[in-house]
Chains A and B, each alone.
Chain A
Amino acid sequence: MTTVHIQIHEKKHHGTEIPTIENFNLTLNSGEFVCLVGQSGCGKTTLLNSIAGLDSHFSGNIQIGNKTQNSKIGFVFQRPCLLPWRTVRENIELVFENQNAIPKAQIDELLNLMQLSNYTNAYPKQLSEGMKRRVSIIRAFAINPDLLLMDEPFVSLDAPMAREVRELLQQLWQKRPHTVLFVTHDLREAIALADKLVFLTSRPMRVLKEIDVLIPRYQRDTQNVETFREQLIQNYSELRLLIQ
């Protein structure tokens, strides 16, 4: 597990005057599950792409542990991003650099935890959307990442399926804790998952407020999540637009 410091002075897209991200500072403690909450289109995906090295056109500094580059980053994208011509196991194993050093036992355990043991030789087209998301989560966990980025991974799932995958993710993370930066626009989802909520402004994106979720994980049922959400609405008027 690793501490992560994110400092982005400015990130602009081509042909735009207003920066997408400006003076963004955030620290993730080792093993912390942090949820970024912001409106759609505020620049959350741009931030994750910058952290992951997919977009290097910004001024600032990303420090993961002691490193500023070549860190192990797991990324769960909005789409599962599985290779359709490879089976579930082959998709997971492909992310390992050295094919002779694949931790097969660890992958079997992850498949088991995510209830996919019977689908190791299935191709993605044979899986449901929820199963595909679970495979992409396993792939990200399998490399033991220094930082795990998750970009609205349940966004296109129906509510029961999203809840099921979310619960499995929680169980998996509790057994194998990593530092996680999870992006969502759904506050209930964020409260259910996070140690810390980070609320964001829109264009330019900055940190508006950081709030710790103090409910113990085992007590985060629908009722308690809803109560916490209502308390936020009452206590923080500046967040009202984001919360509602």
Chain B
Amino acid sequence: MFAKFLPTLSIFAFLILWQGLAIFLHSHLLPSPENVARLFWQHCESGELPHHLGVTLWRLIESFTISMFLGCVIGIALGLNKKLNAFFDNWLVIFLNVPALVTVILCYVWFGLTESAAILAVVLNKVPNVIVTLREGTRALDKELLNMAKCYGFSRMKTLRHVILPQLHPFLMSATRSGLALIWKIILMVELLGRSDGMGYQLHLFFQWFDIASILAYTVAFVGVIQILEFLVLKPLDNLALKWR
């Protein structure tokens, strides 16, 4: 019974610790939770925060969708075809290790400070991670179930839908969760370097003004959105797909 309240208790403990430190230090570098909450409300009322949050979320949806689609297709193909994997393996390792900042700068330099260059930079950073996760998942597929599908004459689409994708579900969810976290961070960098709206752009402004309270207020807003996404979309999806367990 007590364990049920532990997550809430830990949040309250953190808030109390934060409040205590803010009172103790009494510095504008660490505003109190109350101050952050007040600013959060002000930014919401002015419409500024919802606008920039909306812009960033839209970029997140676009780049996430493209990355997941490309990553899944290429990852499954590499997992199924050894020759294809041997051809692309080195490139995958290279792209996994190119710093995100380099990709972002190169995209802006080569394609201009445009929206599509920004999305391309995010996609190029995320796709290798999805490919690797899905490739490993595909390699771990149960060969006997694939043989069963082949023996009973399943079409490729039927095999993909009923035999392969359910087995890849844990890998897809892992790529989705890590993807959301990674893309969010890269988008902020992209916005900071070359866009005139979005959370990254705003955080850059607040940094220049040393407005720590506003930076924390924007962070709280985004963390809140990700939590809502987790509880309203990802968890129910997980439960639906894994009800047989």
Contact = CB atoms under 8 A, between A and B. Distances in A.
Interface of A: 49, 52-54, 73, 75, 77, 79, 81, 83-86, 94-95, 97, 123, 125, 143
A81 B148 contact: yes
Interface in B145-187: 145, 147-148, 150-154, 162-163, 166
Nearest to B145: A81
Contact of A54 (B147, B162, B163): B147
Contacts of A77: 144, 147-148
B110 interface: no
B231 interface: no
B88 interface: no
A73 B151 CA distance: 7
A97 B153 contact: yes
B97 to A, nearest CB: 34
Given A54-B147, A81-B145, A83-B145, A95 B162 contact: no
Nearest to A84: B244
A77 B144 CA distance: 8
A94 B145 contact: no
Contacts of B152: 75, 95, 143
Contact of A85 (B151, B153, B244): B244
Nearest to B148: A81
Interface size class of B (residues with CB under 8 A): 10 to 19
Given A73-B151, A75-B148, 17 more contacts: A53-B151, A54-B147, A54-B150, A54-B151, A75-B151, A75-B152, A77-B147, A79-B144, A81-B144, A81-B147, A83-B162, A85-B166, A94-B154, A94-B162, A95-B152, A97-B153, A125-B244
B166 to A, nearest CB: 5
Question: Closest 5 CB pairs between A and B?
Answer: A81-B148, A95-B152, A75-B151, A85-B244, A123-B244
21 contacts: A53-B150, A53-B151, A54-B150, A54-B151, A75-B148, A75-B152, A77-B144, A77-B148, A81-B145, A81-B147, A81-B148, A83-B162, A83-B166, A84-B244, A85-B166, A85-B241, A86-B244, A94-B162, A95-B152, A97-B153, A123-B244
A98 to B, nearest CB: 11
A52 B245 CA distance: 32
Interface of B: 144-145, 147-148, 150-154, 162-163, 166, 241, 244-245
Contacts of B244: 84-86, 123, 125
Contacts of B153: 97
A80 to B, nearest CB: 9
Contacts of B154: 94
Contacts of A49: 147
A52 B163 CA distance: 19
Contacts of A123: 244
A142 to B, nearest CB: 10
B47 to A, nearest CB: 45
B206 to A, nearest CB: 47
Given A54-B150, A143-B152, A83 B144 contact: no
B239 to A, nearest CB: 13
B45 to A, nearest CB: 47
Given A77-B144, A123-B244, A125-B244, A83 B151 contact: no
A83 B163 contact: yes
A125 B147 CA distance: 21
A231 B210 CA distance: 97
Contacts of A81: 144-145, 147-148
Nearest to A94: B162
Nearest to A97: B153
Contacts of A95: 152
A79 B154 CA distance: 19
Contacts of B144: 77, 79, 81
Most-contacted residue by chain A among B147, B148, B241 (CB, 10 A): B148
A125 B150 CA distance: 23
A169 to B, nearest CB: 19
A148 to B, nearest CB: 11
Nearest to B241: A85
B150 to A, nearest CB: 6
Nearest to A90: B162
Nearest to A126: B244
Most buried by A among B163, B244, B245: B244
